[in-house]
Structure 1
Amino acid sequence: MSQLHTPAPQTRLPPQAVQAVQAALHAIPMNATVGVRITDVGLGWAEGECPDTPPYRNHLGTIHAGAQFLLAEAVSGAAFAGAFAAHLAGAVPLIEKLETHYVGRARGDLSARAEALAGDLPAALQAYGAEGRARLVVNVSVRDGEDKEVMRAVAHWYLRAAPRGS
């Protein structure tokens, strides 16, 4: 993940938009099964959490990489949705790639923050307006109950206008 670029401004979405993004991501069965929750959403950023529950621990007794991956994907999707909130009703968001780097053993409840780079947002929005499709990269940091970073991820999201008549 690049640390040389400025993260997106911390503009929060209106409450109804935050609730819509939360509802969409909480309705995904796998997120609900593992307990992934989106706690806040803004313009190109989001935060989320995942509880430490025994069924989702690995052979070391720490939180399984799959649960961390799921949280990173969900929070990156929420950040992406926050960037394109005004367009989601007529669009199809898709994740193309999620690059992960596990940097420590996860103990306790997980929290995550995802952010697009501020400089990338205007170009992505302009591309969607002009072409009906856009890409946006979102950086994610997952922390454990000891507030230690345990995973970094880079999510590559794609948005295309929904076909007319669907």
Structure 2
Amino acid sequence: MSVGEMLTATVPMVRTLNLEYLETTAERAVLRLPDQAAFHNHVAGPHAGAMFTLAESASGAIVIAAFGDQLHRAVPLAVRAEIGYKKLAKGEVTATATLGRPVADVIAELDAGQRPEFDVHVAIQRADGAVTGEMTIAWTLRPNA
């Protein structure tokens, strides 16, 4: 089962928004939010909350792709998030997530008995390529007790 299939099956909000997983690797995750009138805002674009969820979901996908082999000893948790809305979004939007630190560095901290923290950077884009928003989500790998 792919990361996208697993997250679609286990995260109800992914199904609610009909998010589509286009790419999920340890280097990058790309998700699409189709244009859906039920999730529009007052200017007929995707609602800010839907775009936040899209970006956070992309961050979760790359975290699972990068650290899924560590789930037996640690739980990934989002710690905090900051989003900036840059331009008006219309139509479908995609979110592209990248890790802010090398995977090996994060795992080395986990191996040393620490609770590593790392950022995931996400760009939200319209179909024409314009960046409509940027989000940074801080994640941690909390060691299992």
Say whether the fold is shared (TM-score over 0.5).
yes
Q: Percent identity?
A: 28
Which residue is equivalent to 2:47?
64
Q: Distance in 1 between matches of 2:102 and 2:73?
A: 22
CA shift at 1:152, angstroms?
0.3
Which residue is equivalent to 1:115?
98
SS at match of 1:133: coil
Residue identity opposite 2:4 in structure 1: Q
- Is the 1:25–1:38 Cα contact (8 Å) retained in structure 2? no
Deviations 1:109-147 (A, max 9, x none): 111110013x54322110112216321111100111222
CA shift at 1:47, angstroms?
1.1
Structure 1 residue 153 corresponds to structure 2 residue 141: no
CA shift at 1:95, angstroms?
0.4
Q: Distance in 2 between matches of 1:55 and 1:159?
A: 35
Structure 1 residue 36 corresponds to structure 2 residue 19: yes
CA shift at 1:159, angstroms?
1.0
Structure 1 residue 47 corresponds to structure 2 residue 30: yes
- Tell me which of 67, 75, 79 is aligned to 2:62: 79
Please tell me the root mean square deviation across aligned C-alpha atoms, in Å.
1.6
Deviations 1:46-65 (A, max 9, x none): 11111110010001111111
- Is the 1:135–1:159 Cα contact (8 Å) retained in structure 2? yes
Deviates more, 1:25-34 or 1:55-64: 25-34
Residue identity opposite 2:32 in structure 1: E
5+ residue gaps, structure 1: 1-15
The alignment's TM-score, normalised by the length of structure 2, stands at 0.90
Q: Structure 1 residues 51, 89: CA separation in 2 closer, same or farther (over 3 Å shift)? A: farther
Which residue is equivalent to 1:106?
89
- Is the 1:114–1:141 Cα contact (8 Å) retained in structure 2? yes
Q: How many residues align?
A: 144
